[in-house]
Amino acid sequence: MEHTSRLERIIRIVLVALILIFFLFPIFWIFLMSFQTNEDILRIPPSPFFTPTISNYQALITGKLVSAAGTLDIPFMRNLWNSVLLSSVSVVIALILGVPAAYAFARFKFRLGEDIAFTLLSFRFAPPLLVLLPLSLYFQEIGLTDTYAGLIWVYQLIALPLILWIVRGYFEDISPDIEYAYRIGGHSWWRTFTRIAVPLAGPGIAAAGLLAFIFCWNNFVFALILASADKQPVTVGSLAFVTASGIQYGQIAAAIVLSVTPTLAIALYAQRYLVEGLSLGAVKG
């Protein structure tokens, strides 16, 4: 049995506390800011003591922002909904396309297989702005400009390569013997894939899906260039609080809290899959 001295335990606790403070303090401070008025936030010197207000959340949820310039309309909840819609649908489609493709790349050797896989990965290399201008021309011609369908298609540039390469690594880690044994029992390839391979790769698929969701959620430039204001995600919408008549720090903090919540909730729920899935997919056994 491993023995740790009292001193070692104290040092460990202190170090863990310092690390937690270092990483969590900004989030804690933002959380506090979200319950303060601009005047409280801009006090000199700053103080953690204030009279809490829910006006920032109220402004975001009702869509009415009171500023120096009067009452402004802020479609933040619509931006939030757009982010949920674009990210979740994009990830679902990427999973439907990417998981079978990842399985194929992992299990079968076919002509140009590696080249195709690398080409899909190379989507991640292209600077978005380089791709977007020609893409916007094509989108105009085929009528996909300013549509959710067009955006979800473009979001595949983010989600599909990520899912394909993470899940492929995971499939490669699972011994094919299990699948062979199942096939010998007279089951089809498809049945083997759905009943054996996918359940075994579940944690890896969940981890890849989660990562793809976070990457899609954080995307900024695709919707900005390709869609109008009513289809913008929360990353663009949050900038509306930086106005010529002043920065609404309280609303920015509340917007951060609200926009982080969905990804944080999913990440907490899928945490065990994330760690297990990533480590198993990444390390060859």
Partner 1 sequence: MSQKAKDFFEQYKAGKISRRDLMLGAGKLGISAATANFMLNAASTQALAADFDWKKFKGAKLHLLLNKHPYADAMIADLDNFKALTGMEATYDIFPEDVYFDKVTAALSSKSSQYDAFMTGAYMTWTYGPAGWVDDLGAYIKDPAKTNPKYAWDDVLPGLRASTAWNGVPGGALGSADAKQWCIPWAYELNSIAYNRKMYDKAGVQPPMNMPDLVEKAAKLTKDLGGPYGIGVRGSRSWATIHPGFLSGYANYGQKDLTVGADGKLKAAMNTAGSKAYHKLFIEMVQNSGPKNWSTYTWYQVGTDLGAGASATIYDADVLGYFMDGGDNKEKGNLGFHAFAPNPEAKAPTPNIWIWSLAMNSFGTQKDAAWYFMQWASSTEHDLFGATKTDFVNPVRASVANDEAFKTRLNKSYAGYVDQLAASSPGAKIYFTPQPLFFDVTTLWAETLQKMVAKEVPVDEGLDQLAATIDKQLKDAGLG
Asked if 39 touches partner 1 (CB under 8 A), the answer is yes
Q: Which of 245, 261, 271, 279 is in the footprint of partner 1 by CB under 8 A?
A: 245
Q: Which two tokens stand for residue 57?
A: 């959340």
Asked if 137 touches partner 1 (CB under 8 A), the answer is yes
Asked if 42 touches partner 1 (CB under 8 A), the answer is yes
Q: What is the smallest separation between the CB atom of 91 and partner 1, expressed in angstroms?
A: 25
Q: Which of 136, 147, 218, 263 is in the footprint of partner 1 by CB under 8 A?
A: 136
Question: Using CB under 8 A, which residues numbered 214 to 233 contact partner 1?
Answer: 224-225, 228-230, 232
| Region binding partner 1 by CB under 8 A among candidate stretches 191-199, 203-211, 240-248, 269-277 | 240-248
Q: What is the smallest separation between the CB atom of 58 and partner 1, expressed in angstroms?
A: 14
Asked if 68 touches partner 1 (CB under 8 A), the answer is yes
Q: Which of 133, 142, 184, 283 is in the footprint of partner 1 by CB under 8 A?
A: 133
Q: Which is nearer to partner 1, 72 or 97 (CB)?
A: 72
The residue ranges that bind partner 1 (CB under 8 A) are 37-39, 42-44, 66-70, 72, 132-133, 136-137, 140, 145-146, 224-225, 228-230, 232, 236, 239-240, 242-247
